Amino acid sequence: MTFFTSSFIVLITCLSATVSQAHPGFNFGWGGHGGFGGISFGLSPDFYQFTCPQANNIVMSVLEKAITNEPRMAASLLRLHFHDCFVQGCDASVLLDDTAIIASEKKAGPNKNSIRGFQVIDEIKSKLEEACPLTVSCADILSLAARGSAVLSGGPNWDLPLGRRDSKTASLTGANQNIPPPNATLANLVKFFKRQGLDEVDLVALSGGHTIGVARCVTFKQRLYNQNGNNQPDETLEKSYYFGLKSVCPKTGGDNNISPLDFGSPAKFDNTYFKLIIWGKGLLFSDQVLLTGNVENTIELVKSYAEDEGLFFEQFAKSMIKMGNIKPLTGFKGEVRKNCHRVN
Ligand code: HEM
C-alpha cells in the first residue's frame, strides 16, 4: 500500500512536470507550497496559453462593450475581485448564489445592494464556455475583468498570473468580517489588510482603486452629521466639499444617492484620488484617513502617489498581483465551475 502510494506520487509528479512544462494550462498547483522535486506550479501568466489562448481577448471584447455602455462598470468589476479575494481567497466564492447548503456572500453587509457586475461576468463566462469548455475558472475571470477594467479606464496593465480554481463553498461570515468598512480607523484598515498578507503600501496603492466609481450616501453619511458621536461633521472634510456632499446626502433618507469617489475624474483611472485626499476631499473616512491617520508611512505614500502617477500605477499593478495571489485554489483543489453562480 505504502509502495503503491509513493509510486503513484512519483508517477504523477513526473507526469505533471512534463505536462505542465509543455502545457502550462495543466497546472497542478503543487509548487506554491514547496512542490515536489523543486518544481514550481504556482499561478502563471501563461496558464491558458495552450488550453484557451483567446481567453483574454474574449474578456476584453465583452468589457469594452459593457464599459462603453456604462463607464461605472469598470469600477464595479474591479471591486468585485477585491471582495472575492478578501473572503477565503480569490476563488469566486463571491459569485455563488444561495442554496440549501450555501449562504451567499452577496447577502453580507458590505455586499448587499452594493456589489454589481454579475451580468458582465456571466456574459464573459458563457462566451468562454463556448470557446473553451470547462477551462477558464470564474476566479480567473474576476481577475482578468479587474485588470481589463483598469486598462480600459486608462490605468496600468500588468502580467497577470492565472490558474486559480473555483471554490465549492462561500463564507457569509467571512464576508461580514473580512471586508473593511468605510468608517474604519487607519489602524483597523492596516489590520484588515495584514490579515490577508498585505501591508501599508498595498493598502494605500489599492485604495487608489477609488479613482473610479461611486459610493452610496449611507457609506459616508456619518462623516457629514455625526462623525464622533457629538453631532458634528468630520473636521477633516474640506468645507466646500462638505456642503456639496450634504446636498446629495441628507441627514435622513437618500441612503442610495451616489457620489463619485473621485469627483475630478470618476471614470478615468488616474492619480486624482490622491490629490483630492491632499485637498481634504476624500469621500470615505477610510480614504481621508490615509492622510489624517497620523501614520508617517501612509502620509508619505499618499503624497508621493499624488505627485507621481507613474509611481502609483507601478505600485497598483504590484499590489493587484499580490491581492490576486491571496489563497488561490490550485491543483486538484476546487473546480472550474460551468456556471459562476453555482457549483458543478
Ligand atoms: C481600504 C479599504 C476599503 C474600503 C473601506 C472600501 C470601501 C468602499 C465603499 C464603502 C464603497 C462604496 C460601496 C457602496 O456605495 O455600496 C466602495 C466602492 C468601491 N471600491 Fe472600495 N474600499 C476599500 C478598498 C478597495 C480596494 C482595495 C479596491 C480595489 C482595488 C476598491 C475598489 C472600489 C471601487 C472601484 C468602488 C466603486 C464601485 C462602483 O462604483 O460600483 N476598494 N469601496
Instruction: List pLDDT tens digits, range 247-273.
Output: 999 999 999 999 999 999 999 999 999
Cell of 271: 492619480
Structure confidence at residue 6 as a pLDDT band (50, 70, 90)? very low
What is the widest separation between alpha-carbon atoms in the chain? Answer: 75
Distance between CA atoms of residues 202 and 316, nearest Å: 8
Distance between CA atoms of residues 184 and 271, nearest Å: 22
Pocket of ligand 1 (CB under 6 A): 72, 75-76, 78-79, 82, 114, 116, 180-182, 184, 189, 203, 206-207, 209-210, 212-216, 219, 261, 284, 286
Cell of 265: 475624474
Annotated binding site: 84, 87, 89, 91, 93, 105, 180, 210-211, 262, 270
Say what the pLDDT of residue 87 is: 98
Q: Containing domain of residue 222, as a range?
A: 180-323
Phi, psi dihedral angles at 337 (to 5 degrees): -65, 150
Distance between CA atoms of residues 252 and 99, nearest Å: 36
- What region, left, alpha or beta, does residue 334 occupy, with left being phi > 0 and alpha being psi -120 to 50 degrees? left
Residue 220 Cα: closest atom of ligand 1: 10
- Taking the CB of residue 77, how many other CB atoms lie within 10 A of it? 30
Is 160 within the bounds of a domain?
A: no
Annotated binding site for substrate: 180
Instruction: Return mean pLDDT, the chain.
Output: 90
| DSSP letter (8 states) at residue 35 | -
Is 342 within the bounds of a domain?
A: no
Is 336 within the bounds of a domain?
A: no
Is 285 within the bounds of a domain?
A: yes
Is 97 within the bounds of a domain?
A: no
Say what the pLDDT of residue 295 is: 79
Span 164-183, average pLDDT: 98
Distance between CA atoms of residues 176 and 310, nearest Å: 34
Span 39-47, average pLDDT: 80
| DSSP letter (8 states) at residue 231 | S
Is 239 within the bounds of a domain?
A: yes
308-336 pLDDT per residue, tens: 999 999 999 999 999 999 999 999 999 99
Span 70-82, average pLDDT: 98
| DSSP letter (8 states) at residue 108 | S
Q: Is 17 helix (H, G, I), strand (E, B) or coil?
A: helix
Residue 213 Cα: closest atom of ligand 1: 40
- What percent of the chain clears pLDDT 70, i.e. is strictly above it? 88
Cell of 226: 455625526
Distance between CA atoms of residues 99 and 109, nearest Å: 19
Say what the pLDDT of residue 42 is: 85
Distance between CA atoms of residues 180 and 167, nearest Å: 22
Query: Which residue's CA is minimally distant from atom 13 of ligand 1?
Result: 215
Residue 216 Cα: closest atom of ligand 1: 15
What's the domain count of the chain?
1
Catalytic pick among 23, 33, 81, 83: 83
Say what the pLDDT of residue 296 is: 75
Q: Which residues does 53 contact at the CB level (< 8 Å), separation at least 6? A: none
- What percent of the chain clears pLDDT 90, i.e. is strictly above it? 87
DSSP string, 208-276: GGGGS-EEEGGGTHHHHH-TTSSS---TTS-HHHHHHHHHHS-SSS-TT-EEESSTTSTTS-SSHHHHH
Amino acid identity at 74: A
Output the domain CATH number for residue 318.
Answer: 1.10.420.10
User: Using DSSP, how many helices (H) and how many strands (E) does the chain show?
Assistant: 14, 2
Percent helix, strand, coil in the chain, to 5, is 50, 5, 45
Q: Which residues does 71 contact at the CB level (< 8 Å), separation at least 6? A: 153, 266, 267
Is 185 within the bounds of a domain?
A: yes
Query: 23 an active-site residue?
Result: no
Distance between CA atoms of residues 57 and 48, nearest Å: 12
Residues pairing with 258 in the sheet: 216
Structure confidence at residue 76 as a pLDDT band (50, 70, 90)? very high
Is 300 within the bounds of a domain?
A: yes
Say what the pLDDT of residue 199 is: 96
| DSSP letter (8 states) at residue 62 | H
Say what the pLDDT of residue 2 is: 36
Query: Is it the case that residue 32 has pLDDT exceeding 50?
Result: no
Query: Is it the case that residue 15 has pLDDT exceeding 90?
Result: no
CA-based torsion, 267, 270, 271, 272: positive or negative = negative
